[in-house]
Amino acid sequence: MNTQSETVSQNQAPTFRSGYQRVIGIDVAKKKLDLHDSQQSLTAVIDNDPQSVQTKLLDKLAGQESVLVVCEFASPRRVITF
């Protein structure tokens, strides 16, 4: 199943059916966050603490529009800290 629509121009990012141009998926664990970025510029593993979330995720997304952040976790005891 194709989740992206056609690109309007080479300079414009593709838009997902949801209307967002960028999707960040986060798998939440007690001590770490696994990030996957649809644009592949933020794919990483970071510590699950406020400072890491701020500097390694939120600061890099500041000022960007049309970004959807989706979190997934397996246990209700695991809480994302931001």
Q: Give pLDDT tens digits for 9-24.
A: 444 555 666 788 888 9
Would 26 be classed as within a structural domain?
yes
Would 16 be classed as within a structural domain?
no
Would 43 be classed as within a structural domain?
yes
Say if residue 6 is exposed, middle or buried (CB neighbours under 10 Å; 0-12, 13-18, 19+). Answer: exposed
Question: CB count, 10 Å around CB of 36?
Answer: 14
Stretches where the chain sits below pLDDT 50 are 1-11
Q: Which residue has the tokens 């406020």?
A: 50
* List of E strands, the chain: 22-28, 32-37, 44-47, 67-72
Would 50 be classed as within a structural domain?
yes
CB of 68 closer than 8 Å to CB of 20: yes
Would 8 be classed as within a structural domain?
no
**Whole-number pLDDT of residue 29:** 87
Provide the domain limits for residue 33.
22-72
Would 48 be classed as within a structural domain?
yes
Instruction: State the total domains in the chain.
Output: 1
* CA-based radius of gyration for the chain: 14
Would 77 be classed as within a structural domain?
no
